[in-house]
Amino acid sequence: MSDRPTAGLPDQSGRTWVITGANSGLGAEIARAAAAAGADVTLACRNLDKAERVAGRIGASARVAHLDLADLGSVRDFAAGVEPFDVLVNNAGVMALPHRRTADGFEMQMGTNHLGHFALTGLLLPRVRERIVIMSSLAQNWGRIHADDLNWERRRYNRWAAYGDSKLANTVFGRELARRLTQSGSPVRAVLAHPGYTSTGLMGQSETPVDYLMKAGAMLRVGQPAAQGALPALFAATADVPNGSYWGPNRVLRGTPSRARYRAAADDQRVRDRLWSASEELTGVTFDV
């Protein structure tokens, strides 16, 4: 995928991937493509019935394991059963939900999209051999990091602002993880990606007027199918790209993988440090980097 990312992945024979949220949409396409290139894939999912159907279509190289990122107990149970592997793809997510709380009392979007993945990555890091891919979103462009109120306890809740905050947190976390990996001399790389405007099951479920815009976008084919939206993450997972780099569609909303722009906040060390400290405190997970 170095110069023609749509032509297929490099040979993944003998390598193992763990992909969160692989029961549908982008995660399912990432799992399918990795397995088609020869990898063994673990579909780490909350909905086991859907995950089993995806695994059945992939074949013997796919296995399913239960993971609910909105429950740190589930995250720890999953991590305890994982053997050393090559690629972790932090793909699972929720979008624009009504105000809800995780099993641990976190705001659901921050808890699932960022804090769950933060804890998972920290617990699995000693067993990752090569690459961590963190899926962000164009929504990071309207997010803010309120490190002293990640869980919307002092602010009036807004579902779209909460989603943007969680995706900016993904970007900030990925950039800081890459810095710490480099500083510690680790061979593991943390690389970020976003899928542009991709039609998945997340779209049109917010119960707000934005749903109509998303449906219109899908009808007018402004976006792209999930198989195309998965390409930046697949590129980030397999190409020889810099640690901490960010990849998305070359035409922003759709297209083939190219370097993408992210918010300046993701390179503000004060923002990074405050988010990292708050995430450690909330999850109880620290990183060995």
Q: In this structure, how many other beta carbons lie within 10 angstroms of the beta carbon of residue 186?
A: 17
Residue listed under structure tokens 């624009």: 96
Instruction: Look at residue 90 and give its three-state secondary structure.
Output: strand
- Give dist(CA 247, CA 271) in Å, integer: 22
Spot the catalytic one: 163, 197, 246, 262: 163
pLDDT at 199: 79
Bridge partners (DSSP) of residue 71 are none
Ramachandran angles phi, psi of 54, nearest 5°: -65, -45
Enter the tokens of residue 238.
Answer: 């397999």
How far apart, in Å, are the Cα atoms of 259 and each of 21, 54, 189, 242?
24, 30, 16, 11
For β-strands 62-66 and 40-45, DSSP reports them as: parallel
| Residue pair 19/42 in contact by the 8 Å Cβ criterion | yes
pLDDT at 210: 52
Q: Which stretches in the chain have pLDDT values below 70?
A: 1-7, 200-222
pLDDT at 8: 80
How far apart, in Å, are the Cα atoms of 56 and each of 12, 32, 63, 128, 194?
20, 11, 9, 26, 27
pLDDT at 90: 99
163 given a catalytic annotation: yes
For the entire predicted model, the pTM comes to 0.92
How far apart, in Å, are the Cα atoms of 281 and each of 115, 119, 277, 284?
10, 11, 6, 5
Instruction: Look at residue 193 and give its three-state secondary structure.
Output: strand
Orientation of helix 231-238 relative to helix 25-36, angle to 10°: 50
Degrees, nearest 5: CA angle 148-173-155 = 25
pLDDT at 223: 78
Ordered by where they begin, the domains of the chain are 9-281 (3.40.50.720)
Enter the tokens of residue 197.
Answer: 């405007």
